[in-house]
Chains A and B, each alone.
Chain A
Amino acid sequence: MPSMTLGRSKRSDTQENGKRVRQYFMKGFIYIVLITGALIMLVPFIWMISTSLKGQGAVFEYPPRLIPNPFEFENYRKAWSALPFALAYWNSLKITGLVTIGTLISCSMAGYAFAKINFVGKNFLFVVLLATMMIPGQITLIPMFMLFKEIGWVNTHLPLIIPPILTNAFGVFLLRQFMSTFPTELEDAARIDGLNTWQIYWKIVLPNCKPALAALGIFTFMANWNNFLAPLIYLNDESKFTIPLIIASFQGLYTTDWTVLMAASAISLIPVLIIYLFAQRYFIEGITLSGLKG
């Protein structure tokens, strides 16, 4: 493109200028759209932090005040000490951590098999797997509960850990789609160099899957960290409760202390934020990776 504009006349210079102005406008426009979008996304978050620092009476003040006056750090202390919050935090971290790691391992193995290994009934099995995604969770809730009751898993963390790892059809689908874009030549080359299937999966496929794994990891982490229904159904002892159950505890049947509720929510968000910041690197890496390939 640049070599062409070099040989152009003055008229095309003004054309070029117009183009540049238009580009600036475009860019400005995109920035405005993005900033508005970001602000809209941020408002609930900021509002949560703001409410969590307000006094009880100030929550529904009119006109609403973004910066609380005075700051009530007391809410955080209340939230943290009102309940076995620290214990619930540990329970949630343990469950979510295990589920996330387990999901990444099991889904990537299944995904690799569906994408790259030929075996009898592969397509049929894949369709069956996808079909399981169509069944709403509410329908399987009671049968699952009966099953886990039979094997003595009720009131333990196991039903919150094992099923999400082994039944994540979406994760398998996501990774299969990502892996099937890998050129077969890459694998052939590895095989010629003497790697077996296992080693190819471990040394070639997985490292190239980081962006997809990061995405799946975040999804899994968030879904399980915020999961309310399953812990509610399976756990009876308060000492085994997870964060969402504890947060719901700040809600009474008739009235709710919003300030403490928001403080508790803010505390519970920290791991999600950390995971996101950490995994974001791989998202960006993913973009450059695909750029190289394209």
Chain B
Amino acid sequence: MKEITLWGALVLSLVLLMVGCSNDTGSEGDSGEGDKVELRMSIVAGTDEMPGWQGIVDAFNESQTDIEVKLERLPGSWDEYNQKMTAQIASGDPPDIGRIGVAYMPMYSSKGQLEDLSPFIESLNKDDYYDSIFTEYTDGNIYGAPIGVYTMAMYYNKNLFDEAGIEYPPADWEEAWTWDQYKEAAEKITKGSGANKQYGAYVGFNPERSIQYLWSNNGGLINEEMTEPIVNTEESKEALTFLQSLIQSGISPTPAETETMPVDQLFKTGRLGMIAEGQWMMPSFAEIDSFEWGVAPIPRSSKGEAVTPNFIDKYVIYKGSDHVEEAWEAIEFFMSEEAENILVDHGLGGIPTLKSVAEERENDMFNPLNSEEKAVWFQSVDYSREVPFTNNWQELMNESMKKFDLVGLDELEADKAADELAPILEGLLEEANQ
């Protein structure tokens, strides 16, 4: 009998707990006090980014009395974010506002999951913003409002340059190093072998980190209209062959080597001379205290200009939101001077979309760089190009990396890889454009 009572108590406590759970959610659900419109904003972010995002949301909530935005943070990466949004959109309960990585925009846009923002963006004074940051989707609508501009440039270890007796690369994008100058410098920096080897430069073949070399040589992965692969053109092949030559001559670590030692750690520990990376690495590299480093334009082909990809993440309003007008009001605030200043305070979002903020806050951004090097970042926007993201970009990347990894490991000639990849890309593009 004793056991039965115990058992009964267990079941009872279980039931009670469940009732308890559902009760406190019930009361929370309808806590819409007064006439305030409550909006949900959902973003993926690590905890270190939260003060900035929470900052602009709080500032908006204080700036007016009709709307209350509630910020929901998702841990993890874009994959997890997309998964959760998919579930919420499918169930008809998406958040009102979101932040979406530019690479995933076509995926959402093509499925009609986002509100068309063009009528709202029409009302903005576009002269205040940097040119060409309001990008249209293939159907002519604008589904995302730009948050900030991320570009890439070349970080370099000044101590290693001094040791090898090389002059620092110029800071002007017009006078960017050519590939030959770049390779020559990298060769001089490369030394040692085995686990303590010092590498001159890093080339990764992930198109999101290396497409600029193909562009600079007038090539690319797919054309701008996203209808044809151009990875198999002579220009693209030439660029890929150049990149592979850096691996063959031991200047750059292979994908196998960076698997055990992440390449940003390689740079941070002073064992890498040059690396093309984005502004998003600035906070991490700012922690370096064992050597001096700088930023220079990305090396260009002798046949073309220096160029860098840009990544402009977007604020969006999910289709199915009952408060589109109010959600836009919040986004409009996030694009104002006040909000962009808050993001700069916390080192978030890249280069502000408002020219005025970018100019005024020059001193507060991109520290510890000197003003000449800071100009590399500000100037980079004018030399930047949008990556042609398709609505099946992840598949495109997966297929590309299957070939490019072999190129990086020097198991497949760059020419051949490009020829083999082209028909695969063609098929994927056909699917994307259906």
* A contacts, CB < 8 Å to B: 56-57, 59-63, 82-83, 94, 98, 101-102, 105, 141-142, 145-146, 149, 152-158, 161-162, 202-203, 229, 232-233, 236-238, 241, 245-255
Q: How far apart are B150's CB and chain A's nearest CB, in angstroms?
A: 10
Cβ of A40 to closest chain B Cβ, rounded Å: 18
B80-88, B175-183, B316-324, B369-377 - the one binding chain A: B80-88
Interchain CA distance A237-B18 in the complex, whole Å: 18
> Which applies to chain A's interface (DSSP): helix, strand, loop or mixed?
helix
A152-B25, A156-B21, A203-B3 known; A255-B87 Cβ under 8 A = no
Q: Which of B106-114, B212-220, B258-266, B301-309 lies on the face that meets chain A?
A: B258-266
Residues on B with C-beta less than 8 A from A94 are: 17
- Stretch from B46-54, B127-135, B334-342 at the A interface: B46-54
A47 → B minimal CB distance (Å): 13
Q: Which residues of A contact B287 (CB under 8 A)?
A: 56
| Set B22, B76, B87, B262: member contacting A141, Cβ < 8 A | B87
Residue pair A255, B195 in contact (C-beta under 8 Å): no
Query: With an 8 A cutoff between CB atoms, is B226 at the interface?
Result: no
Would you give the shortest CB distance from A160 to chain B, in whole angstroms?
10
CB–CB A146/B90 < 8 A: yes
Query: A102's closest neighbor in chain B, by CB?
Result: B14
Q: Is the CB of A245 within 8 A of B75?
A: yes
Give min CB distance, B244 to chain A, whole Å: 26
Instruction: Output the least CB separation between B28 and chain A (Å).
Output: 8
The stretch of B138-146, B278-286, B381-389, B392-400 that contacts the partner chain: B278-286
Among candidates B25, B76, B278, B284, residue contacting A248 with C-beta atoms closer than 8 Å: B76
- Report whether A254 and B284 are in contact in the complex, using a CB–CB cutoff of 8 Å: yes
Supposing A156-B22, A253-B46 touch, asked if A248 and B75 sit within 8 A by C-beta, the answer is yes
Asked if A158 contacts B280 (CB within 8 A), the reply is: no
Do the beta carbons of A255 and B22 come within 8 Å of each other? no
> Are B281 and A254 in contact (CB-based, < 8 A)?
yes
Interface residues of B in 5-64 (CB under 8 A from A): 7, 10-11, 14, 17-18, 21-22, 25-26, 29, 40, 42, 44-49
Task: Give the interface centre of B4, B73, B75 by most chain A CB atoms within 10 Å.
Answer: B75
Known: A63-B195, A245-B75. A202 touches B4 (CB 8 A): yes
CB proximity of B228 to chain A, nearest CB, Å: 32
B136 CB to nearest chain A CB (Å): 26
Q: State the CA gap A253–B84 with chains docked (Å).
A: 16
Given A154-B93, A156-B21 in contact, is the A233-B26 Cβ separation under 8 Å? no
Contact assessment for B90 and A153 in the assembled complex, using a CB-CB cutoff below 8 Å: no
Residue B91 interfacial (CB < 8 Å)? yes
Using Cβ atoms and an 8 Å threshold, which residues of chain B touch A247?
75
* Cβ-based interface call for B165 (8 A): no
B87 touches A251 (CB 8 A): no
Q: Is the CB of A142 within 8 A of B22?
A: no
A249 x B281 contact (CB < 8 A): no
From A142, A149, A158, B86 is in contact (CB under 8 Å) with A142
Q: Are B78 and A253 in contact (CB under 8 A)?
A: yes
What residues of A have a CB within 8 angstroms of the CB of B345 in the complex? none
Cβ-defined contact, A60 with B83, below 8 A: no
Contact (Cβ within 8 A) B26 A161: no
| Chain B positions 266 through 301: 1 when the CB is less than 8 Å from some CB of chain A, otherwise 0 | 001100000000101101100100100000000000
Q: How far is the CA of A162 from the CA of B75 in the complex (A)?
A: 24
The answer for the CA separation of A101 and B36 in the assembled complex, in Å, is 43
Q: Does B224 contact A (CB under 8 A)?
A: no
Residue B75 contacts which of A59, A161, A246 (CB distance < 8 angstroms)? A246
Find chain B residues with CB under 8 A from A156 CB: 21-22, 25
B92–A255 touching, CB < 8 Å: no
* B77 CB-CB contact with A under 8 Å: yes
Contact at A250–B47, with CB atoms within 8 Å?
Answer: yes
Q: Judging by beta carbons under 8 Å apart, are B22 and A153 in contact? A: yes
User: What's the least CB distance linking A77 to chain B, in Å?
Assistant: 15
Cross-chain contact of A232 among B22, B74, B261, B284 (Cβ < 8 A) = B74
A237 (CB) vs chain B CBs: closest residue: B72
A246 to B73, CA, bound (A): 11
A-B contact pairs, 8 of them (CB 8 A): A142-B87, A154-B93, A155-B25, A158-B22, A233-B84, A248-B75, A252-B45, A252-B48
Do residues A162 and B18 form an inter-chain contact, with CB atoms below 8 A? yes
Q: Considering the chains assembled together, what is the distance between the CA atoms of A60 and B268 in angstroms? A: 10
A255 touches B47 (CB 8 A): no
B249 beta carbon closer than 8 Å to chain A: no
CB atoms of A238 and B281 under 8 A apart: no
Q: In the complex, what residue of chain A is closest to B196 when comparing beta carbons?
A: A62
Contact B21–A60 (Cβ < 8 Å):
no
A contact residues around B77 at 8 Å (CB):
251, 253
Q: Which residues of B (180-212) have their CB < 8 Å from a CB of A?
A: 195-196
Other-chain contact of A252, B18, B49, B290 (Cβ < 8 Å): B49
Measured CB to CB, the closest approach of chain B to A237, in angstroms, equals: 7
Q: A61-B269, A232-B75, A255-B283 are in contact. List 18 more A-B contacts (CB 8 A).
A: A57-B290, A62-B196, A62-B269, A101-B10, A141-B87, A146-B92, A155-B25, A161-B18, A202-B4, A203-B3, A232-B83, A232-B84, A236-B72, A238-B73, A246-B75, A249-B47, A253-B77, A254-B280
Contact partner of B261 (CB less than 8 A), chosen from A60, A142, A155, A253, is A60
Q: Which residues of B contact A236 (CB under 8 A)?
A: 40, 42, 72
Q: Which residues of B contact A249 (CB under 8 A)?
A: 46-47, 73, 75
A residues within 8 A CB of B26? 152
Residue with the greatest number of chain A CB neighbours at <10 A, chosen from B46, B72, B264, B265: B46
Instruction: Compute how far the CA of A222 lies from the CA of B249 in the bound complex, rounded to whole angstroms.
Output: 48
Question: Whose C-beta in chain A lies nearest to the C-beta of B90?
Answer: A142
A83-B48 Cα distance, complex, nearest whole Å? 10
User: How far does the alpha carbon of A232 sit from the alpha carbon of B173 in the complex, in Å?
Assistant: 43
* B72:A255 contact, CB within 8 angstroms: no
Q: Which residue from chain A places its CB closest to the CB of B89 in the assembled complex?
A: A142
Please, how many angstroms separate the alpha-carbon atoms of A198 and B128 in the complex?
Answer: 77
- Minimal Cβ-Cβ distance residue in B for A203: B3
